Chains A and B, each alone.
Chain A
Amino acid sequence: MQTKQELENWYEQEDPWDYTITEDDIYRKHFYLTVLEDLDGTYERALDIGAGEGFITKDLPAKEIHAIELSDTAAKRLPENVKRVSTPIGKYDLVLVTGLLYNQYDHRAIAKMATDAASKHVCIGGIVDWLRPYVFGELIRSFEFPYREYLSAFKVYETRP
């Protein structure tokens, strides 16, 4: 499993995955946001678990946006409209987990955190071959599209009351 220090080292360089300049990532972000626009339009509270530098987080359609990010270096670059929290604070009608439910991360703890924090929608994104098969309620949207040299998935679950 990747350590915190390894993450800090990785984030020494700004935007280490080149999200902001890679067409596939700009597409992916636009895709996620349009799915959310179709589903709800505006949420009250959003939580992005593993937000990185906030590439997607900052544009989530929510009045209040919280981010959980292990790397202090990455979190320093979070934009002003995103508040970093160490654990979820209350419930969120939108929980986003992208590129994180993989073997190299603590996916069990992350999935539990998402489950406990969600009051409406849980959105899971990531590379199909790497994603661990968690379920967060009723699957209401499921998409797959080419991403870099992979196939990427984006799924939206409605949490069970």
Chain B
Amino acid sequence: MNFHTENTYQRLRFMRLAHNIGNEKHSNYHTREQILACDEPIGFDGVYRNVYKNQDVLRNKSGIMFVMGNYLGSNNEFDLPNVPRVESYCTLAEVKELCNRYDFEIGWHTWSHRNLCSLSQKEIMQEITAPFPTKYLRYPHGAYNDLVVECAQIAGYEKAYAVTQGVPDDPYRLYSNYVDWS
């Protein structure tokens, strides 16, 4: 199933954010129950293998799987000590499998997850150029500035998501918040 209905597309103006599915007490983790209880589209950043392993909770959910090119099939060691433990990421084939099986599309979360606001225009364009067709970009750390937004537009994205720095209804500065957070 693909979620290209107008309703779902409009709903993607706001998305909940999740990373891991697990029981760790950390903002990067949500339990299966929290994901199941979420009735809004979810953007999974990573995408972690524990999402793949818990994929049954994605049934009847919609959203976007935001992958990072440098870490496909690898792990989040680069993000230590911001994360409580090392977790593996899905391969590209696994993410595509999830998108084919459930109501999710693939999005881009840059190659390296560097803060785009600290980069030159050339570096930003390299980072945000995805190696597959996609309409959706998630800014690393949710961080953007005018130059980053301009680059996202030049790169042809239809929507670009921040986190809580974002604003509603601006397609290149979209607000998102964590699953189960108000």
Contact = CB atoms under 8 A, between A and B. Distances in A.
Interface of A: 24, 27, 30-31, 34-35, 37-38, 41, 141, 143-146
A37 B93 CA distance: 8
A31 B72 CA distance: 13
Interface of B: 69-70, 72, 92-93, 96, 111, 122, 125-126, 129, 131-133
B129 A38 contact: no
A145 B126 contact: yes
Contacts of A146: 122, 125-126
Contacts of B93: 37, 41
A31 B125 contact: no
Given A34-B92, A37-B92, A143 B72 contact: no
B11 to A, nearest CB: 26
B129 A30 contact: no
Contacts of A35: 131-132
Contacts of B69: 30, 34
5 tightest CB-CB pairs across the interface, nearest first? A34-B131, A38-B132, A146-B122, A145-B129, A35-B131
Best-surrounded residue of A38, A141, A143, A144 (most CB of chain B within 10 A): A38
Contact of A34 (B72, B122, B125, B126): B72
Nearest to B112: A27
Nearest to B96: A38
A145 B129 CA distance: 7
A47 B117 CA distance: 40
A102 B121 CA distance: 27
Best-surrounded residue of B122, B129, B131 (most CB of chain A within 10 A): B131
A27 B69 CA distance: 11
Given A38-B131, A141-B132, 15 more contacts: A30-B69, A31-B129, A34-B92, A34-B131, A35-B132, A37-B93, A38-B92, A38-B132, A41-B93, A145-B125, A145-B126, A145-B129, A146-B122, A146-B125, A146-B126
Contacts of A141: 132-133
Contacts of B131: 31, 34-35, 38, 143
Contacts of B70: 30
A98 to B, nearest CB: 15
Contacts of A145: 125-126, 129
